[in-house]
Amino acid sequence: MIDQPNIIYTVMKMLGVLVVLSGGLYACLHLMKRFFHAGFIGKTDSLIRVLNVRTVGIKKQIALVEVPGAVLVIGMAGDRMELLDKIVDADIRKRISADQISAGRGQQTVSD
């Protein structure tokens, strides 16, 4: 006589495999996002650094971005970016960098 498979055991086994595979995919996605965002792959000592971002309205922001030799003031609205000002004076740049260090702020991300 042939034993018939237990339907509950089969469903539980299928759900277990589904949970394990979903968890593995989620963990891989999380690790990839973390490594790519942190600069694990590629150059970690970036020449461009976002010093500060302030929201001034709905989907409108102003950012201070440090590049070699200058600090740029950039206005962002929707899908547009525009250079508002370029700070090249060394004393002002040092003061801005010193303010960022004393405030204990790291790099900030720009969001929608």
- What are the extents of the domains in the chain? 1-42, 49-103
- The rounded mean pLDDT for the chain is 80
Could you give the percent of the chain with pLDDT greater than 90?
A: 34
Average pLDDT over residues 87-112: 65
Average pLDDT over residues 4-14: 86
For the stretch 25-63, pLDDT in tens is 999 999 888 877 655 555 556 788 888 899 999 989 999
| Residue indicated by tokens 């970016």 | 81
Q: Residue 107's pLDDT band (boundaries 50, 70, 90)?
A: very low
CA distances from 105 to 89, 97, 101, 108 (A): 22, 10, 6, 8
Residues paired with residue 85 on neighbouring β-strands, in sequence order: 73
pLDDT (0 to 100) of residue 103: 62
Q: Do 39 and 31 touch, CB atoms closer than 8 A?
A: no
Global pTM exceeds 0.85: no
